[in-house]
Amino acid sequence: MSISSNWTVRRLSGALGAEVTGVDITAPTPELIDGIRALLNEHQVIFLPDQSPSPDAHVAFGRHFGKLEGHPNLEADSSLPPEIFQLKASRGGVADEWHTDLTFQEQPSIMSILHMVTCPDVGGDTMWTSLYEAYDGLSEPMKDMLEGLTALHDALPHNRPEQMAVHPVVRVHPDTGQKALYVNEHFTRRIVELNAEESDALLRHLTNWVKHPRFTVRYKWTPGTIGIWDNRCTQHFVLNDFEGERIIQRVTIVGDEVAGARPAQWKPWVREGRLSATSRHDRQLYFYLKSKNKLGS
């Protein structure tokens, strides 16, 4: 797919990220949408400065990429279209823990499109990490083991621990065919096929591994910038190091089908007779698998 000659693309790091100028998202054409998709497949997260779309234009642009859905657990602003999730820092913080959006859903977010409405002069940057690079940097024995594992994700950070899903630890991107490490410190609770101590140790290692600086990019926002990222191959983190107002508006494209590198190679590690003595995450895993008829005989 060729990119318009009017666009200027500037890479931001060796791992991921590009800033694109010469684009007008308020006048989307099929060629523009195809170009954005191609850039996103190449760079995983892209930034379009000087856009400042209205909420309606923001929603209209997002619909070109798929079905939109407001945040399932956070309150919507009644003055905005229901597809837009708005977060004001003055109302209670930022997402300062590494995560991929909504992985506790059976069909998590495909991509997110964020409009930076207002931001402080200093601080409040966002970082992204490439889950392709994180996977590629692992040893071959570790890759082989991880490709046979799955993990339980839940919405405990939103006070909804009953919202759960199990996804492959290594997933394959449906467009690029690349493998990505698909666990995060915010929503991932338990490796399904390992016992609790093994799971805790492995998740601690993997969620720290994805933060390695060589996998990341850091972006300093300016008002009116649009940021678009692919949730199938990235995580992100907001630096809570600022004073002053920071307002973001985001639309989320949903309907992802998470395909693993290969099927799980082992049975879930659950022991029904010892549930009263196990951790909350073990009990949570047991009842989730039971509800899905995945415990076997």
- Mean pLDDT in residue range 130-141: 98
Which of 141-150, 175-184, 225-234, 262-271 shows the lowest mean pLDDT across its residues? Answer: 262-271
Query: Is 283 or 114 the better-scoring residue by pLDDT?
Result: 114
pLDDT exceeding 70 applies to what percent of the chain? 92
pLDDT digits (tens, 9 = 90+) for 183-214: 999 999 999 999 999 999 999 999 999 999 99
Name the catalytic one among 43, 99, 167, 246. 99
The pTM is what?
0.92
pLDDT of residue 89: 77
pLDDT of residue 92: 46
Of the ranges 80-84, 156-160, 165-169, the best mean pLDDT one: 165-169
**Residue 141: pLDDT above 90?**
yes
CB atoms under 10 Å from CB of 214, counted, come to 12
Name the catalytic one among 43, 58, 101, 246. 101
Query: Is 296 or 284 the better-scoring residue by pLDDT?
Result: 284
Q: Is 121 designated active site?
A: no
Query: Is 230 or 77 the better-scoring residue by pLDDT?
Result: 230
CA distance 68 to 73: 15
pLDDT exceeding 90 applies to what percent of the chain? 76
Name the catalytic one among 167, 171, 186, 236. 236
Positive/negative CA dihedral, 77, 79, 85, 89: negative
Please count the CA atoms within 13 angstroms of the CA of 209 that sit on its side-chain side.
20
Helix (H) or strand (E) holding 196: helix 196-209
Query: Is 116 or 284 the better-scoring residue by pLDDT?
Result: 116
Instruction: Of 220, 238, 249, give the one whose Cα is nearest residue 88.
Output: 249
CATH 3.60.130.10 holds for 138-210+259-291: yes
pLDDT digits (tens, 9 = 90+) for 25-79: 999 999 999 999 999 999 999 999 999 999 999 999 999 999 998 777 667 677 8
Name the catalytic one among 189, 250, 256, 281. 250
Q: Is 99 designated active site?
A: yes
- Taking CA atoms, 237 is separated from 62, 96, 99, 254, in Å, by 22, 5, 7, 20
pLDDT of residue 278: 61
Q: Where does residue 62 rank: exposed (0-12), middle (13-18), buried (19+ CB within 10 A)?
A: buried
Which fold does the domain 8-129+219-253 belong to in CATH?
Answer: Double-stranded beta-helix (3.60.130)
**Residue 297: pLDDT above 80?**
no
Query: Is 13 or 271 the better-scoring residue by pLDDT?
Result: 13
Chain centroid, CA 189 distance in Å:
16
- Name residue, tokens 């809570």: 240
Query: Is 95 or 145 the better-scoring residue by pLDDT?
Result: 145
pLDDT of residue 57: 97
Q: Where does residue 183 rank: exposed (0-12), middle (13-18), buried (19+ CB within 10 A)?
A: buried
Every domain range in the chain assigned CATH 3.60.130.10: 8-129+219-253, 138-210+259-291
Contact indicator for 108, 268 with CB cutoff of 8 Å = no
Tokens of 81: 């279209």
pLDDT of residue 276: 58
Instruction: Of 226, 201, 219, give the one whose Cα is nearest residue 51.
Output: 226
Contact indicator for 45, 15 with CB cutoff of 8 Å = no
Contact indicator for 96, 87 with CB cutoff of 8 Å = no
18-21 vs 45-48, strand pairing mode: parallel
pLDDT of residue 153: 96
What integer best gives the mean pLDDT of the chain? 91
What is the DSSP track for 143-194? HHHHTT-EEEEEEGGGTEEEEEEEEESEEE-TTT--EEE---TTTEEEETTS
Tokens of 60: 């209209």
Cα Rg of the chain (Å, integer) = 20
